[in-house]
């Protein structure tokens, strides 16, 4: 369906991570009619302490709960929270867990958790980058401990490196962590190509750091040349996407040039890759205007719905794509990564 002229909304707080992008994505899905083609579940149980302790230290959870019961505060780096922040974070992680279990239990073929706060930066004992609990890690660990799944792959296309998820699973051969991100954005010193996994887990971690300015062609090339071949080699029981939309060409916290069509095409590649179900966990994305269109394109692709919305920023972003000389530089880096992983 066509949509009217969009107006860039003003940020409600001045802080980049706000509910707005998520609220507007939900609204777009409803007003376009796409929600009629989805099984929308609006509630999920919060994760339990047992779930939390599968990933996070008892000391961190204790401090988080105590501060949340008072006035809120900050226990890490750029991850502030208000009163009751612990409960909200547990519900956000609970949505991701619910999405994962619904696919593992055969209730849904694919699932998307539109949750907040995000999770992929959070370490076992140190929240950072707006992330207070590592939602995906908690869900994965819960599923493994419940013997619902044995081998899991996490594909993180948020524009920032998935440092928390990488570190939590770095020594695990049963969990493949892949992160495609803008090089040295956040955190500034992680996400390197030679970080391949710890002892006993060699090649279970794969980083694809991209130069600022990369767009549609480098992302799709990276998927064709590295991500999909790596998944075929690893053969996970399920793939979970850390689904940030901050590689958008208009995102204020990055310098990449993806369009909503890019995220749709990456989703298509994951659907085509194989038999395993797909679970998406919403991560970053700070353009309140563009995130809804990116999210809509992913959900439309996942659900095979005929409800399509016109992305008002498509022409602007497509007209800014880099030239082939720039792309070729990135392709050389991607080839180097493929060689490191024997792909
Ligand atoms: Zn991000």
pLDDT > 90 in the chain, percent: 94
Distance 145 CA to ligand 1 centre (A): 28
For 58-84, letters b (16+ CB in 10 Å) and e give eebbeebeebbeeeeeebbeebbbeee
What distance in angstroms lies between residue 246's CA and the mean position of ligand 1's atoms?
6
> Can you tell me the distance from the alpha carbon of 125 to that of 132, in angstroms, rounded to the nearest whole number?
10
pLDDT, average across residues 25-49: 96
Domain 20-340: which CATH class? alpha beta
Q: Does residue 161 have an active-site annotation?
A: no
| Residue 181, SS3 per DSSP | strand
pLDDT value of residue 13:
59
Residue located via tokens 């939390």: 52
How many A from CA of 230 to the centre of ligand 1? Answer: 23
Gyration radius from the chain CA atoms: 19
pTM score, whole prediction? 0.96
Q: Which two tokens stand for residue 94?
A: 């609970």
**127-173 pLDDT per residue, tens:** 999 999 999 999 999 999 999 999 999 999 999 999 999 999 999 99
- CA 282 – CA 243 distance, rounded (Å): 5
Task: Name the residue with tokens 């609970």.
Answer: 94
Do residues 166 and 179 make contact, with C-beta atoms less than 8 angstroms apart?
A: yes
Q: What CA–CA distance (Å, rounded) separates 336 from 323? A: 21
| pLDDT value for 276 | 76
Choose, from 56, 121, 216, 290, the residue flagged as catalytic.
Answer: 121
Mean pLDDT over 2-15 rounds to 49
Distance CA 47, CA 130 (A): 19
């Amino acid at each position: 369906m066509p949509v009217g002229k969009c107006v860039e909304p003003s940020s409600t707080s001045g802080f980049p991570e706000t509910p707005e992008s998520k609220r507007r994505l939900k609204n777009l899905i409803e007003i376009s009619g796409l929600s009629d083609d989805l099984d929308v579940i609006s509630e999920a149980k919060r994760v339990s302490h047992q779930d939390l302790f599968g990933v996070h230290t008892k000391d961190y959870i204790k401090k988080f709960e105590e501060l949340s019961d008072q006035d809120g505060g900050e226990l890490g780096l750029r991850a502030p929270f208000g009163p009751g922040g612990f409960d909200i974070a547990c519900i956000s992680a609970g949505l991701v867990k619910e999405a994962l279990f619904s696919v593992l239990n055969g209730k849904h073929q694919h699932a998307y958790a539109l949750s907040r706060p995000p999770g992929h930066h959070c370490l076992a004992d140190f929240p950072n980058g707006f992330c207070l609990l590592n939602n995906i890690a908690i869900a994965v660990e819960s599923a493994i401990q419940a013997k619902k799944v044995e081998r899991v792959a996490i594909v993180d296309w948020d524009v920032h490196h998935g440092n928390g998820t990488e570190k939590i699973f770095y020594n695990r051969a049963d969990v493949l962590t892949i992160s495609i991100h803008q090089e040295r954005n956040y955190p500034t010193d992680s996400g390197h190509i030679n970080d391949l996994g710890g002892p006993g887990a060699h090649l279970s971690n794969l980083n694809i750091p991209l130069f600022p300015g990369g767009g549609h062609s480098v992302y799709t090339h990276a998927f064709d040349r590295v991500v999909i071949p790596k998944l075929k080699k690893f053969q996970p029981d399920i793939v979970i996407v850390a689904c940030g939309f901050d590689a958008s060409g208009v995102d204020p916290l990055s310098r990449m040039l993806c369009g909503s069509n890019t995220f749709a095409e990456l989703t298509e590649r994951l659907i085509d890759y194989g038999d395993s179900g797909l679970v998406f966990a919403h991560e970053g994305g700070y353009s309140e205007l563009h995130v809804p269109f990116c999210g809509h394109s992913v959900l439309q692709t996942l659900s095979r719905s005929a409800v399509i919305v016109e992305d008002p920023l498509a022409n602007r972003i497509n007209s800014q794509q880099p030239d082939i000389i720039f792309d070729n530089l990135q392709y050389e880096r991607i080839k180097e990564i493929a060689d490191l992983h024997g792909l």
